[in-house]
Amino acid sequence: MTQTVYVKLNQITQVHEKAVFLSDIAEVYCSDKPTASRCRAVKVQSIHSDKEKRYMGSIVDIVAKLGEQVPEAEVSSIGESDFIIDYRPPSKPHYGWQWLKTAFVCLTCFAGAAFAIMTFNNDANVTDIFNEIYRLAMGAESNGRTLLEFGYSIGLAIGIVVFFNHFAAWKLNTDPTPLEVEMRLYEENVNKTLIQNSGRKESGVDVS
């Protein structure tokens, strides 16, 4: 008697063990609990390398393995059609190196943002505009340290926090920040490129 097994593959899964089972890379559901357990225990990849490496596969591979080991399973895919296994050998975390990288990224972003703001101010000639507004409103020359400059500086900082919806561990709402959105888009594009390149190389058509 056949049993319908629903398989929802993840696009990419990071693993640390060399034996990769279906339960590691997908969600599996079947009304028959023993069949679901047998499907989850199916080995989909055996990794022999000790180095970091990414392995590509497709739902066709999963269907073939389930057909061999769980013949009563009728697979219904409701997730990704292709998947990536990102193997990372188990290792001790290097907290010092992680903090150093974090500090470097923070300093780079701070310097880049400061440079972008300064170049915008110079291009828009903000200083002269503020001086002219102050002269028209107050009838005197500005010394460069007026409410206009202070308000602009404070408003710029508040605007950045509101736009990025993030300051330290505090968020204005539950929406993802623009940085999180861009990171997810970048990750998705990388995954799609890896999958497409894998298919092109196997067929003998590749641009590299």
Going residue by residue through the chain (208 aa), what tens digit of pLDDT does each one get? 788 999 999 999 999 999 999 999 999 999 999 999 999 999 999 998 888 999 999 999 999 999 999 999 999 999 889 999 999 988 888 888 889 998 998 899 889 988 998 898 888 888 888 888 888 888 888 887 888 888 988 988 888 888 877 766 677 777 787 888 888 999 999 988 888 887 765 555 444 4
Distance CA 174, CA 68 (A): 45
Statement to judge: residues 77 and 113 lie in one domain: no
Name the nearest CA neighbour of 7 among 69, 41, 23. Answer: 23
Statement to judge: residues 178 and 100 lie in one domain: yes
Domain that holds residue 79: 3-87
Rounded to two decimals, the pTM is: 0.69
Q: CA-based Rg of the chain, rounded to a whole angstrom?
A: 27
User: Kind and range of the H or E element at 138?
Assistant: helix 126-138
Looking at the domain assignment, is residue 104 inside a domain? yes
Query: What 3-state DSSP class applies to 52?
Result: coil
